[in-house]
Structure 1
């Protein structure tokens, strides 16, 4: 199905969110909601969500967060605050689910979340904040603390954006590429953001979780997913060799096999 727009309330205004349903006719199958990375969008996922849903015989929902893709752009003078991922998880995502009739007792039922990078962190916050509102999570290269490695390579990405054709390449996926890039880059390099820390929330994770990290991840170390397991020991860890920050691009088959097994194992009517 082509992408559509839905209007939701956020930050005392109305914004439009780009979204796309995958295989919606599979009404009796689990729904997987895909949460993109810090520079991602519906189109930046490419074909992975569709292939994943076909492999597991799932329904899917892919969407672009505020400021990304074809969703309402962030005004250039508006700066993300250190709590921007908390606000996405606790305000924007519930509003989107309300608008699309997703959740307990609703038309599309309770979802699974699959989040990448910033999207993985948002999935963790949502799961800890609304434990009855989802069936489980898969997080790919999530952040739970700000590491020096992350800051160093995000600073390097800023220079790449200024010096190469990265702006043009990202512009294929975002209506306002300057808004998307600088919103992400500025907050991650803000000194105040160094204190950002999800660890106090993680003991609130009650759902089944799969946390995935590449051994060659340039934006985070294994301390990220190992920290999740320390506070939420029901979380299964998957460490992938020959894999960087994007397991769905670098190791799609291994990720798909593990995540489908994870969902099917923890979905009662599929056992």
Structure 2
């Protein structure tokens, strides 16, 4: 199925991104399936054509199986080939140590795996990733440093597209992830200073899958040892207290290996753990 022609309303945004794509050769797009990387992939596919675009997806225990399947389906909708590469960030000391720069080690591992052999085999002229202009202004995005060190392009940010602009582009292409909530990797659920392990990642993934199956539109399961601290959209928290829902959540938490499950009354807090440490260190 061909990629739908984009709606005219987003034409200026698409043209702005297209201006930052390579003039010649094949482009590899570091691809997670989220709205940013999917929109970049769609613009590249629309501008360069299918033969000049390759989606490159990093697969590791920090990527939930549901997110991986959705990413593959979205790439198929876009009409882009997907190369899945196995990354081993959990073997990197800096990643396991889980300080505020954990994402640097994860992104660095991914970009290192897109090595000369991959570039030569797939005839890539450049690699790009989906940082947008809002991300570029945030201090809690150490992965951007890895992208800079590896010469990775950031067409969305360079074109000045905000997150709202990116979603407008996604809607213009009718992408199934246009309104998808942000889905940071599973390691982001583990407080900084606590080691990232495959066991913890699996616990988080299992309970978040249950929350999805129970109909919650978004969730974060923060791993605090025996305690699963569940963050939900504030307008959906009341459902978690309904007797049957509460029992299902508790049973899933127990199966995952938690002793207690609690709902955080503050709702979903993107980047809160990282920002609190940066603030304490005087980095903000």
TM-score by length of 2: 0.32
Q: Which has the higher strand share?
A: 1
Could you tell me the TM-score, scaled by structure 1's length?
0.33
Bigger radius of gyration among the two: 2
Higher helix proportion (structure 1 or 2): 2
